[in-house]
Amino acid sequence: MNIKSTIDNTLKIVIVGESGVGKTNFLFRFIEGKYCKIVEPTLGTDFKSKICTLPKSRKKVKMNLWDTAGQERYMSLNKFFFQRVQGIMLMYDITNRDSFERLPKWVKFINEQAFNVPVILIGNKIDDESENRIVRKEEGNNFAKQYGYLFYEASALNGKNVNNAFYSLCESCISKLEESVVLNGSVSNSLVDYFSISNKEKEKKTKKEYCC
**What integer pLDDT is reported at residue 34 of this predicted model?**
85
Residue 128 vs residues 58, 95, 145: alpha-carbon distances, Å: 33, 7, 24
d(CA 197, CA 83): 11
* Closest to 17 measured CA to CA, from 55, 67, 61, 53: 67
Among candidate residues 165, 190, 202, the one with its CA nearest the CA of residue 55: 165
Q: Look at residue 104 in the predicted model and tell me its pLDDT.
A: 97
Q: CA 208, CA 17: separation in Å to the nearest integer?
A: 25
- What's the mean pLDDT when you consider all of the chain? 81
Q: Delimit the domains of the chain by residue range.
A: 3-211
| Domain 3-211: which CATH number of 3.40.50.300, 3.40.50.1580, 3.20.20.140, 3.40.50.1980 | 3.40.50.300
pLDDT of residue 73: 46
Return d(Cα 151, Cα 17) in angstroms, integer.
Answer: 14
Q: What is the pLDDT of residues 116-137, one digit of tens each?
A: 899 999 999 999 999 999 999 9
Helix H or strand E segment including 46: strand 45-53
Q: Which of 21-25, 38-42, 185-189, 198-202 has the highest mean pLDDT?
A: 21-25
Residue 78 half-sphere exposure toward CB, CA atoms < 13 A:
25
pLDDT, tens digit (0-9, with 9 covering 90-100), for 9-47:
999 999 999 989 999 999 999 999 988 765 555 444 678
